[in-house]
A and B are shown apart, each in its own frame.
Chain A
Amino acid sequence: GAVVSQHPSWVICKSGTSVKIECRSLDFQATTMFWYRQFPKQSLMLMATSNEGSKATYEQGVEKDKFLINHASLTLSTLTVTSAHPEDSSFYICSARGPGTTYEQYFGPGTRLTVT
């Protein structure tokens, strides 16, 4: 089946530093990946749509300069949280649309970010 990995699975960083999260499709090529943010007991909030070789499309209210997304290859998208603050602490999950013409999305295991 389609497998998506994320790295790291958890990270603790100090306020003001930047953190990079990687999302990889392991056994298929993903031209489109999605980045979500999830607070405890809440829904998945779409942050941006990442397209290989082009700029990401951000959802309204998401700061482009704070959450940098790069989709450099068909198997890798990265999310960099710049100048992180405690309010950025959250569960970040990426997903990739399945191989071929399938519609379903396959989610990575998520990254728990804690900013101290």
Chain B
Amino acid sequence: QQPVQSPQAVILREGEDAVINCSSSKALYSVHWYRQKHGEAPVFLMILLKGGEQKGHEKISASFNEKKQQSSLYLTASQLSYSGTYFCGTEKTSYDKVIFGPGTSLSVIP
């Protein structure tokens, strides 16, 4: 079952912060986050495993609340290069197939 993402789209000015949410009605083992730019393949950002962990590098971080079956991606001090469509993908079990959400279009403007 496809996870739900919100918002569908967001426009930011450089330096602003954004949060993208991903939720599922099923119990999850992991949540993956990818960014895709127009006409290109998705690029892996990070994965969060069951255990309620948080991860981050530089100005992009994420959290996973397994009890609520929700994950959030945090982008701080956004840069123009952050523009693209962000997909979360969920797995129900370890090494399972990944089902992707509908995506969140993020545009960063000067």
Contact = CB atoms under 8 A, between A and B. Distances in A.
Contacts of A103: 30, 32, 47, 49, 91, 94-95
Nearest to B5: A43
A97 B40 contact: no
Interface string A47-74: 0010000000000000000000000000
B98 interface: yes
Interface residues of A, number: 18
B52 interface: no
Interface in A80-95: 93
Given A103-B30, A104-B32, A46 B97 contact: yes
Size category of the B interface is 20 to 34
Contacts of A110: 40-41
Nearest to A31: B95
A43 B97 contact: no
Given A49-B97, A105-B32, A43 B43 contact: no
Contacts of A42: 102-103
Given A42-B102, A105-B98, 11 more contacts: A36-B100, A43-B100, A93-B41, A103-B30, A103-B32, A104-B32, A105-B89, A107-B41, A109-B41, A110-B40, A110-B41
Interface of A: 32, 34, 36, 42-44, 46, 49, 93, 97, 103-110
